[in-house]
Structure 1
Amino acid sequence: MHEFGIAESILAAVEGRADGRRIRRARVQVGALLRAAEPSINDAFALVAAGTVAEGARLDLVTLPARISCRACAHTTTSVDPYAVCPACGSADVDSEGGDDLVLESIQLAEASHVPGDSRGDRGNPGRPS
């Protein structure tokens, strides 16, 4: 299953950005040619993330289209279908470009249960001078 390889790559990126902090959610851009289905990737990610800062975190996938160029009619378009045919002439003789990206777009940290310091002195407390 190629989902585990993708999930391991995502986990490495998440751990690098998290810097030891717990993760609740991550948003990942995935190229269409990687054929990554969100439920399968989330299942694989749950297994590889067990015991890490990302344990229990969910992934939100954003599928990036590939650019396809038809060799028969020279029509160019984009598609999220990894098995795309030319929409102009129906030919399957197409070249694809891109669509193999895997980019960690953002992470959402889990909320801390205790933040040290004097919360009454925050700027949000108008009754206390700064």
Structure 2
Amino acid sequence: MSDVHEFGIAEAVLDAVERRAHGRPVRRARLRAGALLRIAPPAMDHAFALVTEGTVAEGATLDLVIEPVRLNCRECGLTTESDDALAVCPACGGVDVDTEGGDRLVLEYIQTAEESHVPGHPRGDRGDPAGPH
């Protein structure tokens, strides 16, 4: 079900999760991925479950948020966003489109077994990407 692409990404995510967890059991992680990375959510869930076996993140839920790509059509001038990395212009059907963004991969937060998402929680990992991790 999962292919090599998602498996490699899942391994990188696990590495980042383990660094943030500092040995604490992890219940949930949130990953923001650009549409250009072409991550298939079911394949990513499967790959993450496989790579986390026997780790602090075993059984953790991975919340995957796909970040859209901005499309600029060279044929009609339309600018729009799409979750499809291979999108055509929705206005004219043109395939001559420039893309912007949609290529980030960010581990936004983790939630450990001892914590919940409470703003201002002194131990961090509280869902605030700008907060301490």
Aligned residues: 112
Q: Which runs of 5+ in 1 are unaligned?
A: 113-130
- Structure number with bigger Rg: 1
Using the aligned pairs only, state the percent identity: 65
In the alignment, the residues of structure 1 paired with residue 46 and residue 114 of structure 2 have an alpha-carbon distance, to the nearest angstrom, of: 23
Please state how far the C-alpha of 1:35 moved relative to its aligned partner.
1.6
Can you list the C-alpha shifts for 1:50-89, whole angstroms capped at 9, x where unaligned?
2211111110111100011111122111111111111221
Please state how far the C-alpha of 1:3 moved relative to its aligned partner.
0.5
Return the match for 2:61 from 58, 61, 64. 58
What is the letter of the counterpart of residue 74 of structure 1?
Answer: G
Give the conservation status (yes or no) of the 8 Å contact 1:11–1:54. yes
| Corresponding residue for residue 26 of structure 2 | 23
Once the two structures are superposed, the pairs formed by residues 39-118 of structure 1 within 5 Å of their partners are: 39-111=42-114
Kindly report the root-mean-square deviation, in angstroms, between the aligned alpha carbons of the 2 structures: 1.4
Structure 1: 4+ residue segments shifted above 3 A: none
Q: Which runs of 5+ in 2 are unaligned?
A: 116-133
Please state how far the C-alpha of 1:37 moved relative to its aligned partner.
2.2
What is the letter of the counterpart of residue 31 of structure 1?
Answer: G
